[in-house]
Amino acid sequence: MKLKVYITLLVSFITIAISAQDAALTATVSKNKLGVNQRLRIEFSINKQGGDNFTPPNFTNFKIVGGPSQSVSQSWINGKVSFNQSYTFILQPLQKGEFNIPSASIEIEGKTIKSNPIKIIVLDAIDIPKNPNDPSYIAEQNIHLVAEVSKSQPYVGEGVYIEYRLYVSDNVSIYDFGVTEAPQYNGFWNQEIKVNGTPVKIGTYNGERHRYAVLHKALLIPTTSGKLTIDPMKMDIVVAVPTGKADFFGNLITRQIRKEFSSAKKVINAKALPLQNKPEDFTGAVGQFSFDVSLSKNTLKANESSQIRVAVNGKGNLKLFELPKIETPKELEVYQPERKESVSVLSDGLKGSVTDSYTVVPEYKGKYKIPKVSFSYFNPKEKVYQTITTDDLYVDVLEGKEITTNSDNNAAIKQDVKVTGSDFRYIQTSTSFQPKQREDFFKSIIFYILLLVPILAIPVGIFIHKKKEERDGDVIGNKLRKADKLAKKYLSEAQKQLGNKEAFYEALERALHNYLKAKLNVETSDISREKITELLANKNVDSTTIHSFIDVFNDCDFARYTPITNVQMKEEYEKAKQLITQLDRQL
């Protein structure tokens, strides 16, 4: 008896909860665009019980080839009650054109509720295989790999981004996927933009509702003008396709197939920078920047050091141009600058700062002028060149050697000795020290060592000085050694990042680029796989080593889209080390 009471109360509670909802009749279609020889499904759903006298719309210009079929569902999850009753029709258009399916209606509690009208576009007939239920054909119609570019006509040096999306309709499901061929960005400097996971979102593709996920995103900066083609990304996807049959419980039976999908080629027309009003000191900077030159110390003594900081801040192609060089008086010794970069990759370009720090060491006393420096860049938004000029800087050396000349006016002037009371003090003639017996220092081992060390140090010092002069005079060699040092540094950084896929492959690729820059004397922005192959072949490097080196670059790209284990990363690291060793022997 109590059980019947509980059931009655529960049913009453659910009925009250459902009746408290606002009634709404919605219409959805499987596709908004179709060929005249295709079909579409339209579904009218009501979210409240008690509906009566459902009246479908007048399907003018369409033929009903199926339906209406009805279904009812009701659920109670986490205290929330939901109800749905649907009426489904299968339609086939009778002619081409743009048509509106008017509203359906239903009566609830004495009120008439109408659905939303839907716009349908009917196009020319499309090629349909002999078997429209072919799983490959169904998968092809319901899955789309799309590449979207933010700008199709950028200037050379202006950043654009590309985004690869995978759209999947509600008719099929995906069980597994993997990238078989990564996109190639020939003619671009490129940098991957990190995507935090692959969250599934709801969007529209060709006017139809789809689920989609962003698989890959990259910043592209064209390095040359003209038509630049981005080759497609290719993927293998395991798709669950409905067979049109149901099991004993009424659940739809699906069939899994593996199919390759490819994005379309993208063409970007890169515009050359204008020649009109182009500044003479322009080195390729494109974006919006600020420029500053500063001294860490304005006043110092001889042999003390000061830092001259040349900095560019802003957003643009920060890694693809040279900073202005400073000019200093010959009395100031200036060392090669140290480059520091603090740059982040955003969807609309690189943002941050690039700084060259010069160490200046004066030798002579005096006040020295560091002339003003100018920096020019092209602003793509305003489509004009802009120049920033800094003020003159002055270094005041208070103590140090005087600059000698042959003029008699600079001869030394004799001065009288000035005696003060503290210059000469009383010298004590008697002491309380006691004599101590010890060995005579003269002719001891320490005596001869101290005697010979200065004599031996003279030729060693001369040899080291000559080597230093030769090394300082080798400007190209210094640049190559610096780049080679960077390559070793980035290889060690890649080793530290083992286990962290994104950071590891980014550090490994950067190490290979800097190694090539050191050995082949080419700028990083000019490096492409075709140019690497050409340059190494001209250096008589064997084709096997060249292909292996290119494979490491391709592996770095490919690894960004697929799961990678720590063992595979360790193998890639060892392979890169061996290839650098092989290239060193052949170069």
The residues, any chain, with a CB within 8 Å of residue 392's CB and separated by 6 or more, are 369, 370, 371, 372
- Where helices occur in 435-542 by DSSP H, the ranges are 445-473, 475-496, 501-520, 529-538
Residue 17 falls within a domain, yes or no?
Answer: no
Predicted pLDDT of residue 48: 76
| Strand extents, DSSP E, 381-450 | 384-389, 393-397
Q: Kindly provide the b/e burial profile for residues 235-260, where b requires at least 16 CB atoms within 10 angstroms of the residue's own CB.
A: bebebebbeeeeeeeeeeebeebeee
Q: Which helix (H) or strand (E) holds 545?
A: helix 543-559
Predicted pLDDT of residue 561: 63
If we measure between CA atoms, which residue out of 500, 509, 548, 508 comes closest to residue 190? 509
Q: Flag residues of the chain having pLDDT under 50.
A: 1, 3, 5-7, 9-20, 406-427, 483
CATH number for the domain spanning 153: value is 2.60.40
Residue 128 falls within a domain, yes or no?
Answer: no
Residue 453 falls within a domain, yes or no?
Answer: no
Domain end residue (candidates: 373, 401, 429): 401
**375 and 260, same structural domain?**
no
**241 and 152, same structural domain?**
yes
CA dihedral 424, 427, 433, 438 (to 10 degrees): 70
Residue 177 falls within a domain, yes or no?
Answer: yes
Residue 444 falls within a domain, yes or no?
Answer: no
**143 and 119, same structural domain?**
no
CATH number for the domain spanning 340: value is 2.60.40.740
Q: Any idea which residue has 């609830």 for tokens?
A: 108
Predicted pLDDT of residue 353: 93
d(CA 400, CA 253): 91
**159 and 197, same structural domain?**
yes
Residue 330 falls within a domain, yes or no?
Answer: yes
Strand partners, 342: 353
**261 and 141, same structural domain?**
yes
The residues, any chain, with a CB within 8 Å of residue 335's CB and separated by 6 or more, are 358, 359, 360, 361
Domain end residue (candidates: 74, 89, 123): 123
**154 and 261, same structural domain?**
yes
**91 and 145, same structural domain?**
no
Residue 560 falls within a domain, yes or no?
Answer: yes
Predicted pLDDT of residue 18: 42
**373 and 252, same structural domain?**
no
Domain span including residue 69: 25-123
CATH number for the domain spanning 42: value is 2.60.40.10
Predicted pLDDT of residue 419: 45
d(CA 200, CA 214): 8
**165 and 258, same structural domain?**
yes
Chain centroid, CA 221 distance in Å: 11
Predicted pLDDT of residue 413: 43
**151 and 261, same structural domain?**
yes
Q: Are strands 160-168 and 143-149 parallel, antiparallel or unpaired?
A: antiparallel
Total tally of structural domains belonging to the chain: 4
Domain end residue (candidates: 375, 401, 427): 401
Q: Residue 586, Cβ neighbours under 10 Å: how many?
A: 12
If we measure between CA atoms, which residue out of 218, 228, 226, 258 comes closest to residue 241? 258
Cα angle: 348, vertex 349, 353; to 5 degrees: 140
**54 and 109, same structural domain?**
yes
Residue 416 falls within a domain, yes or no?
Answer: no
**143 and 252, same structural domain?**
yes
CA distances from 172 to 142, 240, 406 (A): 7, 6, 93
CATH number for the domain spanning 532: value is 1.20.120
